[in-house]
Chains A and B, each alone.
Chain A
Amino acid sequence: MNKLTKSLSSFVVPLISILLAFLVGMIIMVCMGKNPADALYFLGFGAFGNAANFGTTLSKATPLIFTSLCACFAYRCGVFNLGGEGQFIMGSVAACYVALRSGITGVPAMILCLAAGMAAGGVWGLVPGVLKITRGQNEMIISIMLNYVATLFMGVVYTNWLRDASVPQTEAVPNETKLPRVLTGMRFTYALVIAIVVGLLIYYFLFWTSGGFKLRAVGINMTASRFNGFPVKRYILTSFIVSGAIAGLGGAAELLGTQFRLINGFGAGYGFDGVAMALIGQLHPIATMVVAVFFAALRTGSMTMQAGTGVPTSVSDIIQALVIVFTVAGMALTKLPQFEQLRYRLRSRKGGNAA
């Protein structure tokens, strides 16, 4: 397979999956006695229909972009960071602490908060990384477990140390420290700009630098990388730290840009959403960002759909879930030898250039 057909075919699987998922979603709508065309129209309108709606979509996409890039980066080095959620939360906790307790406000505070978030996320990613390379512990289990630790730790923070009077939530970050919106009338903030910059940086690192090249090599074949003299363990640890830092930065940005305070349920689900989106985006940072926006659109649009046609938002959840299921199944399918044979046969029947 040459490069062009390879990147084409990696688009085909998610695309077919999305179409199939919508097809099933529409069948469900028909069974509910609703008009699927109307529902889809409202879904699209709610997500992209006007500047305000599109702004909401982008705002919702921002944290997903961060966690999906977090998953993407670790996967590229061949390790599974399922702890995006914990790293995201730790990042927001650190940022919240700095915002409320440092006494600084304004742009310096923003920078400090984001840096603290990155550091906290990085440390949270370091733990499974260190345990993996020194003790051979399974990084997936450790990083999942650390999600719970982070969630509970955040609970301690908003019920004790930074509690807002008698309400189980933290005080809101000062107005001067909130990330401003980029355009008036659209809800997304500079957090989105940061996310896009991070995504582009990762793309540049992975595909245009020697370090990223080697990191990918380690991710595909650790043994061969070791035989070729790459410091495999160092790459693994670094990828964990960077991956955690990305999620932590996302947590800080989400806090400063959208949520402003820690509260029960903050960040819940973002980690695993990110993993799914990275997989659908075929671990390509830019594709991953597009997928994150797509999912955010489904979530934003489903509200309008429910209001406009009475189709519940859970139908949108079903579609989202099916996209994931179909994509993963599709990717597994294309790896089957039978599939290769089938493709080969189809190609040679076309009188093709297979030989």
Chain B
Amino acid sequence: MRMEHISKRFGDFYANKDVSLDVRKGEVHTLLGENGAGKSTLMNILIGLYQPTEGKIFLKGREVRIESPSQAVKLGIGMVHQHFMLVEAMTVFDNIVLGDKNHKGIFIDKEARKREILALSEKYGLDVQPDRLITEISVGEQQRVEILKALYHGAELLILDEPSAALTDIEVEGLFEIMNKLISEGKSIIFISHKMREVLRISDRITILRAGEVVTTVNRGEYDGQGLANLMIGRELSASQYEKKDSQAETVIELRGAEFNKESKHNGLNGVNLSVRKGEIVGIAGVDGNGQTQLAQLVTGVIRPDQGEVSLKNSKVAVFDPDNFIREGVTHVPEDRNLQGLIGDMTIADNLVLRTTDKAEFSSGGGLFLKKGRIRNYARQMAKKYDIRCTSVEQDVRSLSGGNQQKVILARELEAGPDLLVAAHPTRGLDIGATRFVHDEMIQARDSGVGILLISADFDEILEMSDRILVIFEGQIMGEYSGKNPPIEEISLAMTGK
């Protein structure tokens, strides 16, 4: 398989630019890159979900156009997605033959199919039980079903997207054995992973993507983990525009040994210790999906920890409920602003006063009669102060651009006069101007004494903003670094789990 000079443009943005990649028969070829480096786009082109803007794809030396996923399957390309695509209420057998068109008539010769499947399963040591329901089998087995399904549909080239994400360490060993068997049978594998240890062990060659472009392709052994991490992150420390502070003020929140759903590496927390003081920004760096979502929800009271304690201003929290945390002065810029932050079909004004309508300022009788005029005036002030660009504050907040929506949330959360602001991916999807605005506001809040926990998968943002940096990986805190002259190489390696 060879991809030549592939580019994919969305509007003015190049998700992939002049990417060339070749995968040989019988090799494991790893794609390495940060979030948003263009790995997924490239793979989606390969399986026919996207059409490349430019470039060609060759299979076994012959140029092909892949126009749909079913065509990709026909050409022998199979993908095992990070989130499995299985019908849970059906059996393993049903899932494997699903979409198989090479049978005659309307009936499926189940016995013959089952024999084929078992033979395949035997050959590659996949060890699946065809008659079990998907819901009854372990995640590791589900993945083997996905692999078997791809093989059954005739895959010669398998794409494994973060296959170890959901697995236990023992299951990962099993996966590697299977991968070795597959390549020894002449199959090829494209392996996508963030975990340096695994990448170093299993890959024959490694292609590093950064900002949609290929940095280089290297053979195993040419670089060590640090070398690869440097290539992947690929940046020099540029001086932050903001002054870094070393706050000695009181602690606003402290987590001791906090655990949540710790079996899950990607949706859990395992023994997290951290604290945020007033007047500092603590940045949580890490690749997406290493427990950041849970951390943000834990420190805002949305979920309760299974183990460990959380203290707000030195008193232990007993009731995990967002309302309780809000009353203790915790505010939240949530990661999904439309789902978690805003009431989309309500107006800008409504969203700005969402939690404060009981106050005498906005209603009489403790909420019995809303002072709509006051609310509107307040909203107009806020729109001016936070530069919310709208035609009217009576506009539905849904109709605003992402940046302006985020400003609405920021206005609401900062005007609440918090002690702690939890900001999860606060500038995701925002343009440069809005990003700058959000950052300036956060720094201003810090300087006025707000403690800020900044959770972001954008490493630049973490470096730019944080007074202290903590790295999270598989739900664990890997290390703590100063925000002044942070050791970029060390941090980037910690983000990949080493």
Contact = CB atoms under 8 A, between A and B. Distances in A.
B347 interface: yes
B410 to A, nearest CB: 14
Nearest to A6: B396
B347 A209 contact: no
Interface residues of B, number: 38
Interface stretch (B4-12, B334-342, B471-479): B334-342
B404 to A, nearest CB: 15
A167 to B, nearest CB: 50
Contacts of B325: 229
Interface string A195-224: 000000000000011110110110011011
A228 B354 contact: yes
B339 A209 contact: no
Contacts of B321: 229
A216 B332 CA distance: 21
Contacts of A223: 339-340
Contact of A209 (B327, B354, B368): B368
A218 to B, nearest CB: 9
A213 B370 contact: yes
A2 B322 contact: no
A224 B399 contact: no
Contacts of A210: 357-358, 362-363, 366-368, 370
Contact of B343 (A208, A225, A231): A225
Interface stretch (B84-92, B194-202, B247-255, B387-395): B387-395
Contact of B344 (A6, A220, A227): A220
Contacts of B363: 209-210
A209 B367 contact: yes
A349 interface: no
Contact of B396 (A1, A214, A229, A231): A1
A228 B355 contact: yes
A221 B394 contact: no
B346 A217 contact: yes
A230 interface: yes
B223 interface: no
Interface residues of A, number: 23
Contact of B341 (A2, A220, A227): A227
B357 A214 contact: yes
A209 B370 contact: yes
A101 to B, nearest CB: 38
A227 B340 contact: yes
Interface string B342-360: 1111110010001101100
B460 interface: no
B63 interface: no
A226 interface: yes
B367 A211 contact: yes
Contacts of B344: 220-221
Q: Indicate the member of A1, A214, A228 with the most B CB atoms within 10 Å.
A: A228
A149 to B, nearest CB: 30
Interface string A1-32: 11100100000000000000000000000000
B302 A227 contact: yes
B343 A220 contact: yes
Nearest to B357: A210
Contacts of A216: 346
Considering the complex of A and B, which 9 residue pairs feature the smallest CB-CB distances, nearest first?
A210-B367, A229-B323, A210-B357, A229-B322, A3-B394, A229-B326, A227-B340, A217-B343, A221-B343
Given A211-B367, A217-B354, A229-B326, 15 more contacts: A2-B392, A209-B367, A209-B368, A209-B369, A209-B370, A210-B367, A213-B370, A217-B350, A220-B343, A220-B345, A224-B342, A225-B343, A227-B334, A229-B323, A229-B327
26 contacts: A1-B399, A2-B391, A2-B392, A3-B394, A209-B367, A209-B368, A209-B369, A209-B370, A210-B357, A213-B350, A214-B357, A216-B346, A217-B343, A217-B346, A217-B354, A220-B345, A220-B346, A223-B339, A227-B334, A228-B322, A228-B326, A229-B322, A229-B324, A229-B325, A230-B323, A231-B323
